[in-house]
Structure 1
């Protein structure tokens, strides 16, 4: 009986991972007509930042929030790294230095949207990070409507659509995190109440 339970559990996890990887591979950018009030990008790579700033330039949102910025990174450094003029940064880009993980990103995003009266946001992050980001956003009270805008890191996917070895490892790790988030949300577990206000300790968003 114990062996059956182990095998069944393993089959469930393998099947769930296969569906997760397939869903991530199938993600695509929303149509240009998916206009939103604002744009939020979760830090973790220059590719994400460039895409988010490009969407801002195109008028896909009125303001951009960069959530999870390293405290040692200035607005000027972001402008240089993304070839963006400071006028655009000063005008329409807000930097969030508080979020240290995806939970923090979700909380900062909801607060920012509330402050600006935004009801619909484009969420820019890596494709593998979209499922967990949506779960965390959905777990925040009064969160705005989120339209995912996935960015596919080239080093994680082969030309035939299959993940690279690095991509496979990353997908497995991310799937485990998604399962942990689902378990936490389903039980109503409050990490901060357990002394885990971990998004306020040193670290970076993922």
Structure 2
């Protein structure tokens, strides 16, 4: 009886991992939102968030999880952001150190800025966990558009992220 249960559990885990690895989230297209949120991390996230802002698909950008040693001037120089755009439209969040605190920092910024819709820009393999953490923190009336930055993750990255997602889901169940 126990061996069947373990076999079933392994099968569920394996099919879940297969789904996770094959059906990675996709880019969002041209949906308009009040703001765009970009957690720091893998390459391509910040440039894509700035592109969304430049195209007028959002009015404001929060980059969450910025290293406290990075100055706004350094950020602007690194990503080619004008002083005017930095002042009007870009907020650097320095409080977050991981995906869960990215969600906390984002939710606080969303409340302070009265944001009713946002575009979450993160890497395709990170999107599900970032969404899971953010969903627990945001008010239910905030619309979230998922805009995944395509990548070529290796098996190790997918394996680790899948297990982080399972842990995030389990933590969500224990909070109910």
- What RMSD, in angstroms, separates the aligned Cα atoms of the two structures? 1.5
Secondary structure (helix, strand or coil) at the match of 1:121 reads strand
Aligned to 1:36: 33
Aligned to 2:84: 87
Q: Does 1:76 align with 2:63?
A: no
Displacement after TM superposition at 1:111 (Å): 1.2
Q: Does 1:67 align with 2:64?
A: yes
Q: Deviations over 1:145-165 (max 9, x none)?
A: 2101111234x2xxxxxxxxx
- What is the rounded CA distance, in whole Å, between the counterparts of 1:16 and 1:46 in structure 2? 26
Aligned to 1:103: 100
Q: TM-score, normalised by structure 1?
A: 0.80
Q: Deviations over 1:49-98 (max 9, x none)?
A: 11101111111111100000001111111112112222211221011100
* Among candidates 122, 132, 153, match of residue 151 of structure 2: 153
Give the conservation status (yes or no) of the 8 Å contact 1:38–1:122. yes
Q: Deviations over 1:154-190 (max 9, x none)?
A: 4x2xxxxxxxxxx21111111101111111101117x
- What is the rounded CA distance, in whole Å, between the counterparts of 2:19 and 2:98 in structure 1? 25
Q: Does 1:131 align with 2:140?
A: no
Gaps of 5+ in 2: none
Gaps of 5+ in 1: 157-166, 190-206
Q: Does 1:6 align with 2:3?
A: no
Paired residues, number: 175
Secondary structure (helix, strand or coil) at the match of 2:160 reads helix
Displacement after TM superposition at 1:43 (Å): 0.3
Displacement after TM superposition at 1:134 (Å): 0.9
Aligned to 1:195: none
Secondary structure (helix, strand or coil) at the match of 2:68 reads coil
Secondary structure (helix, strand or coil) at the match of 2:137 reads coil
Q: Does 1:177 align with 2:164?
A: yes
Secondary structure (helix, strand or coil) at the match of 1:36 reads coil
- What is the rounded CA distance, in whole Å, between the counterparts of 1:132 and 1:45 in structure 2? 14
